[in-house]
Protein backbone atom coordinates (compact mmCIF):
# COMPACT_ATOMS: atom_id res chain seq x y z
CA UNK A 1 0.00 0.00 0.00
CA UNK A 2 1.26 3.45 -0.92
CA UNK A 3 0.62 6.64 1.04
CA UNK A 4 -0.25 10.24 0.29
CA UNK A 5 0.38 12.71 3.14
CA UNK A 6 -1.22 16.11 3.57
CA UNK A 7 0.38 17.52 6.72
CA UNK A 8 0.17 20.70 8.73
CA UNK A 9 -3.22 21.85 7.49
CA UNK A 10 -4.26 24.84 9.58
CA UNK A 11 -7.84 25.91 10.24
CA UNK A 12 -9.93 27.96 12.64
CA UNK A 13 -12.98 26.27 14.13
CA UNK A 14 -15.51 26.51 16.94
CA UNK A 15 -15.24 23.03 18.45
CA UNK A 16 -14.98 22.23 22.13
CA UNK A 17 -16.67 21.30 25.35
CA UNK A 18 -16.41 24.74 26.96
CA UNK A 19 -18.63 27.68 26.00
CA UNK A 20 -15.68 29.96 25.24
CA UNK A 21 -14.36 27.47 22.69
CA UNK A 22 -17.61 27.47 20.73
CA UNK A 23 -17.99 31.24 21.03
CA UNK A 24 -14.43 32.46 20.42
CA UNK A 25 -13.10 29.57 18.36
CA UNK A 26 -9.51 28.37 18.15
CA UNK A 27 -6.84 26.96 15.87
CA UNK A 28 -6.85 23.34 14.72
CA UNK A 29 -4.07 21.61 12.82
CA UNK A 30 -4.70 18.42 10.90
CA UNK A 31 -2.40 15.79 9.40
CA UNK A 32 -3.85 13.19 7.04
CA UNK A 33 -2.33 10.08 5.49
CA UNK A 34 -4.31 8.07 2.95
CA UNK A 35 -3.35 4.61 1.80
CA UNK A 36 -4.02 3.49 -1.76
CA UNK A 37 -2.32 1.84 -4.71
CA UNK A 38 -0.40 4.50 -6.65
CA UNK A 39 1.42 2.20 -9.05
CA UNK A 40 -0.70 2.93 -12.14
CA UNK A 41 -0.89 6.66 -11.38
CA UNK A 42 2.91 6.73 -11.24
CA UNK A 43 3.30 4.70 -14.41
CA UNK A 44 0.77 6.66 -16.47
CA UNK A 45 1.08 10.17 -14.97
CA UNK A 46 -2.74 10.17 -14.70
CA UNK A 47 -4.33 12.04 -11.79
CA UNK A 48 -7.54 10.04 -12.23
CA UNK A 49 -5.63 7.05 -10.82
CA UNK A 50 -4.67 8.94 -7.67
CA UNK A 51 -6.32 11.39 -5.27
CA UNK A 52 -6.03 15.13 -5.73
CA UNK A 53 -4.29 16.67 -2.68
CA UNK A 54 -6.31 19.88 -3.04
CA UNK A 55 -9.53 17.89 -2.80
CA UNK A 56 -8.29 16.21 0.38
CA UNK A 57 -7.48 19.64 1.83
CA UNK A 58 -10.88 21.05 0.85
CA UNK A 59 -12.69 18.06 2.37
CA UNK A 60 -10.89 18.52 5.68
CA UNK A 61 -11.38 22.30 5.62
CA UNK A 62 -15.12 21.91 5.09
CA UNK A 63 -15.37 19.76 8.23
CA UNK A 64 -13.04 21.65 10.56
CA UNK A 65 -14.44 25.05 9.59
CA UNK A 66 -18.00 23.72 9.53
CA UNK A 67 -20.52 22.52 12.08
CA UNK A 68 -19.12 22.68 15.63
CA UNK A 69 -18.68 19.49 17.64
CA UNK A 70 -17.52 18.98 21.21
CA UNK A 71 -14.67 16.51 20.76
CA UNK A 72 -11.57 16.38 18.57
CA UNK A 73 -12.32 12.64 18.46
CA UNK A 74 -15.55 13.49 16.62
CA UNK A 75 -13.66 15.74 14.19
CA UNK A 76 -11.18 12.96 13.45
CA UNK A 77 -13.94 10.38 12.91
CA UNK A 78 -15.87 12.73 10.65
CA UNK A 79 -12.79 13.52 8.56
CA UNK A 80 -11.85 9.84 8.19
CA UNK A 81 -15.39 8.82 7.23
CA UNK A 82 -15.64 11.67 4.72
CA UNK A 83 -12.35 10.80 3.01
CA UNK A 84 -13.26 7.11 2.72
CA UNK A 85 -16.72 7.97 1.36
CA UNK A 86 -15.62 10.67 -1.07
CA UNK A 87 -12.55 8.98 -2.57
CA UNK A 88 -13.16 5.35 -3.61
CA UNK A 89 -9.45 4.69 -4.30
CA UNK A 90 -8.54 5.28 -0.64
CA UNK A 91 -8.32 2.01 1.30
CA UNK A 92 -7.28 3.44 4.67
CA UNK A 93 -6.64 6.75 6.34
CA UNK A 94 -4.87 8.05 9.41
CA UNK A 95 -6.15 11.37 10.72
CA UNK A 96 -4.46 13.44 13.42
CA UNK A 97 -6.32 16.45 14.82
CA UNK A 98 -4.15 18.78 16.88
CA UNK A 99 -5.42 21.46 19.25
CA UNK A 100 -2.48 23.83 19.83
CA UNK A 101 -4.25 26.01 22.40
CA UNK A 102 -6.79 24.02 24.44
CA UNK A 103 -8.17 25.86 27.48
CA UNK A 104 -6.31 23.82 30.08
CA UNK A 105 -3.63 25.16 32.38
CA UNK A 106 -0.06 23.97 32.04
CA UNK A 107 2.93 23.99 29.72
CA UNK A 108 2.72 21.79 26.61
CA UNK A 109 2.91 22.14 22.85
CA UNK A 110 -0.54 20.79 22.02
CA UNK A 111 -3.04 18.01 22.55
CA UNK A 112 -4.00 15.67 19.72
CA UNK A 113 -6.04 12.67 18.71
CA UNK A 114 -4.91 10.27 15.98
CA UNK A 115 -7.13 7.57 14.50
CA UNK A 116 -6.71 5.00 11.73
CA UNK A 117 -9.70 3.76 9.76
CA UNK A 118 -10.00 1.36 6.83
CA UNK A 119 -12.58 0.99 4.15
CA UNK A 120 -13.49 -2.51 5.31
CA UNK A 121 -14.30 -1.73 8.95
* Main-chain phi, psi angles of 73, to 5 degrees: -60, -40
Question: Which of these, 14, 39, 26, lies nearest to 89 by C-alpha position?
Answer: 39
pLDDT > 70 fraction of the chain, expressed in percent and rounded: 99
Give residue-wise pLDDT tens across range 16-55. Answer: 999 989 999 999 999 999 999 999 999 999 999 999 999 9
Segment 83-99, tens digit of pLDDT: 999 999 999 999 999 99
Q: Which residues are catalytic?
A: 99
Set out the domains of the chain in order of their start, with CATH numbers. 2-118 (3.30.1130.10)
Roughly what angle, to the nearest 10 degrees, separates helices 72-86 and 53-64? 140
- Kindly report the average pLDDT of the chain as a whole number: 96
Amino acid sequence: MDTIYVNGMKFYGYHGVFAEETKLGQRFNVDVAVGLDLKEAGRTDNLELSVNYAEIYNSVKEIVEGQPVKLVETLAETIAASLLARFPLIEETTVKVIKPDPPIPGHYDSVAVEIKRTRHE
